[in-house]
A = this chain, B = another copy of it.
């Protein structure tokens, strides 16, 4: 049977199986839901066994369990490690949901439920396709499924699990469907993620806050010094003034720029999505370029002195700021953090004590150009959707991508079927049934040809 016919024929069965998983409130962040999280893991493992996967097991971690299963019957062919997660975000504010978050409902061609798009819906697509291909004997790759239960709480125990199970997870590359397309109707392949580098710092100008009447005018003010120091980090054109920050950072190639331009991306749409009153960024760069391919330095938080109600006439003795940088592939997280720290030391006034704490980071990710899996995915997506795909990037990081590279030496293919307005992490999360169907078709073609 043709894949499209098979998928159409099993549509109700797939929805029923998806709904059964969506009905389990596997909220990993809330301790009271721990039994539900485990129930979801058990349910998922049962389903894996039911569709014919092997070596299916719940692997205990110090947190929620990892569910593993495989189907390794294509000798000499690539092995794909499919990563996903069965845990979901909390549902507050509950009152804003039009239908209860754990009672999956179809409206306007969309499944509404917590986890519909992030990530139960997208993850189950792979299992339904595996089920069909195993049943029809058409699976041309070896599949390993690694489905975790702590993605929404920072994948706390995943790196340790991966490090301890390198053999079990041996593969040629990783596939993840847990990211958005750029726009409806057009398939997307995410070929780049920015990295991250974090640090925080404290400026101290005195042993304790001082009375501004007794001392104001004669002693330094830590809030002023912090403000002045932060103001040195960027130039007026929005670029970053830290020496060495852009070392090695290359401009977009002609092809990359053409690919960005070809997306017909709307600045105003991004502005509205963001809730920002206006866009602002590094001069001479387009918005997509700024978010996808340029490094940033952001103060995530800062504070000093008295921040309560009313008036307190103190000269603050201490001021603090937290910084994260978004990185591009040519940047090393440690080198960037060190460059920022050197800048802070250079511009901090002589009369202040500066303390810098490094917070670690992740390098950026760029899909290896010309990788056969990338080409297979492109072909599969474009055939399934009948359209040229959007080659996109994401401005954020996906830490597990770093985990798979560092622990297993594997590249990752990011084939996401979500849409940007599907309310992940918000009330009324939903998932498009069109992408559910077309996405499974694409995955089927991919697993036939990869």
Contacts and interface: CB of A to CB of B under 8 A. Distances in A.
Interface of A: 194, 196, 198, 204-208, 210-221, 223-224, 226-231, 233-234, 270-271, 274-282, 287, 290-291, 294-296, 298-308, 311-317, 319-322, 324, 326, 349-353, 359, 394-397
Nearest to A213: B396
A212 B305 contact: no
A218 B301 contact: no
Given A227-B230, A227-B302, A306-B300, A205 B326 contact: no
A139 B263 CA distance: 93
A326 B216 contact: yes
Given A278-B350, A279-B218, A290-B217, A307 B301 contact: yes
B280 A213 contact: no
Contact of A227 (B221, B231, B298, B322): B231
Contact of A219 (B281, B306, B316): B281
B313 A219 contact: no
Contacts of A216: 291, 296, 298, 326, 395
Nearest to A278: B351
B304 A311 contact: no
Contacts of A211: 396
A119 to B, nearest CB: 17
8 contacts: A212-B296, A215-B274, A216-B298, A223-B302, A227-B302, A277-B353, A298-B315, A311-B322
Contacts of A280: 218-220, 349, 351
A372 B365 CA distance: 81
A316 B322 CA distance: 11
Contacts of A326: 212-213, 216-217
B302 A214 contact: no
A136 B215 CA distance: 44
Contact of A226 (B227, B315, B350): B227
